[in-house]
């Protein structure tokens, strides 16, 4: 796999590159902004997949994606983001992206998603697909990170830390910390109360 990864945060670039290199045995070319990415694509492309950070310099929202697709119609592009809403994810797909990857994904999940897209499929997390109208997160959801929302969704289903860790490809101790943070934000005494409060607020 040949991947072009564009993100303005050095640590994020290094982490995702390591995931793709070590877990996916991919050859990764990194860029720090949109313009550097387009230059790399012109000089070293095409790639099996180009990953563009939604909020990096030069992107101008999804305008960068639109411009990149227009200039490289045969190239596959996907958006990565740690902050974009479900609405943005749906708009990215409508604009021609073949996938949307949250930066909170675990190594194996990320590599599997990349392989899925390279195989010609579209990848979107289940949490985004569930929001078919691309609505903005409600006030209740806004207080949580994407990973915390994933954990809370599993708490609502009565899943154990071990089950959540296995599904999200994380260490059980990491899930325990997320559960603690979710309970603190909800002022809940335990996971059961957190789940009850979430359901009462219409969170699913």
What domains are defined for the chain?
2-129 (3.40.50.2300), 139-200 (1.10.10.10)
The residue behind tokens 């959540």 is 164
Pairing outcome for strands 2-6 and 77-81: unpaired
**pLDDT-derived band at 181, boundaries 50, 70, 90:** very high
For residue 53 the two structure tokens come to 């950070």
Task: Quote the percentage of the chain above a pLDDT of 70.
Answer: 92
pLDDT at 129: 63
20, 5 Cβ separation under 8 angstroms: yes
Q: Which of 3-12, 61-70, 88-97, 100-109 has the lowest mean pLDDT?
A: 100-109
Mean pLDDT score, 27-43: 95
Is the torsion defined by CA of 129, 121, 88, 83 positive or negative?
positive
**pLDDT-derived band at 61, boundaries 50, 70, 90:** confident
**In this predicted model, which residue has the larger pLDDT, 85 or 87?**
87
pLDDT at 134: 46
Mean pLDDT score, 1-22: 90
Condensed to tens digits (0 to 9), the pLDDT of residues 100-137 reads 998 777 788 888 999 999 998 889 887 666 554 444 45
**In this predicted model, which residue has the larger pLDDT, 137 or 32?**
32
**In this predicted model, which residue has the larger pLDDT, 110 or 47?**
47
19, 111 Cβ separation under 8 angstroms: yes
Task: Quote the percentage of the chain above a pLDDT of 90.
Answer: 43
pLDDT at 142: 79
């Amino acid at each position: 796999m040949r991947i072009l990864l564009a993100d303005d945060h050095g640590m994020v670039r290094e982490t995702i590159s390591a995931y793709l290199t070590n877990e996916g045995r991919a050859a990764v070319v990194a860029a720090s902004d949109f313009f550097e990415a387009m230059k790399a694509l012109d000089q070293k492309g095409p790639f099996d997949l180009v990953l563009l950070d939604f909020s990096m310099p030069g992107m101008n929202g999804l305008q960068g994606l639109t411009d990149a697709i227009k200039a490289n119609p045969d190239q596959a592009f996907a958006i990565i983001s740690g902050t974009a809403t479900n609405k943005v994810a749906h708009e990215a797909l409508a604009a021609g992206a073949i996938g949307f990857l949250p930066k909170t994904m675990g190594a194996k999940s990320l590599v599997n998603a990349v392989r899925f897209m390279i195989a010609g499929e579209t990848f979107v997390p289940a949490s985004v697909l569930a929001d078919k109208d691309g609505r903005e997160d409600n006030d209740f959801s806004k207080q949580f990170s994407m990973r915390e929302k994933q954990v809370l969704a599993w708490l609502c289903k009565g899943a154990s830390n071990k089950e959540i860790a296995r599904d999200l490809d994380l260490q059980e101790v990491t899930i325990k910390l997320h559960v603690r943070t979710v309970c603190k934000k909800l002022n809940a005494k335990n996971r059961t109360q957190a789940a009850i409060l979430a359901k009462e607020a219409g969170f699913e």
